[in-house]
């Protein structure tokens, strides 16, 4: 891996709060290497995971309600972001019993 991305670049990316577009291009380029399995995640502080991209490049999205509770997880068919391509994986509903 150090031959593809040098240590200084890795340190620079790791120290950022949010990687730049060019940083993501470098990271995603690692997926094409033989015998590598790269999974990436994005997070929103104090809420949770926003996306996870598996080694095959499929990105799962995580939506939260106004209380910070997970509302649904979904992917876009063929990684084409369009409402018609949205496929819900899991949906969560929260119900409370009145006491």
CB-count exposure of residue 26 (10 Å: 0-12, 13-18, 19+)? middle
| Alpha-carbon span 2 to 9, nearest angstrom | 9
Q: Is 7 helix (H, G, I), strand (E, B) or coil?
A: helix
| Alpha-carbon span 42 to 90, nearest angstrom | 19
pLDDT exceeds cutoff 90 at 28: no
pLDDT exceeds cutoff 70 at 33: yes
| Residue 22 backbone phi and psi in degrees, to 5 | -70, -35
Q: What is the pTM of this model?
A: 0.78
**What does pLDDT average to over the chain?**
87
Query: Are residues 72 and 90 in contact, defined by beta-carbon separation less than 8 angstroms?
Result: yes
| Alpha-carbon span 58 to 85, nearest angstrom | 13
Position 3 scores a pLDDT of 57
Query: Are residues 92 and 71 in contact, defined by beta-carbon separation less than 8 angstroms?
Result: yes
């Amino acid at each position: 891996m150090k031959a593809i991305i040098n240590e200084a670049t890795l340190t620079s990316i790791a120290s950022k709060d949010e990687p730049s577009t060019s940083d993501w291009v470098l990271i995603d380029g690692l997926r094409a290497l033989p015998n590598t399995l790269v999974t990436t995640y994005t997070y929103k502080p104090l809420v949770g995971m926003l996306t996870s991209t598996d080694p095959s490049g499929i990105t799962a999205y995580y939506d939260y309600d106004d209380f910070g509770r997970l509302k649904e997880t979904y992917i876009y068919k063929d990684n084409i972001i369009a409402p018609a391509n949205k496929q819900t994986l899991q949906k969560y509903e929260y119900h409370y019993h009145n006491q």
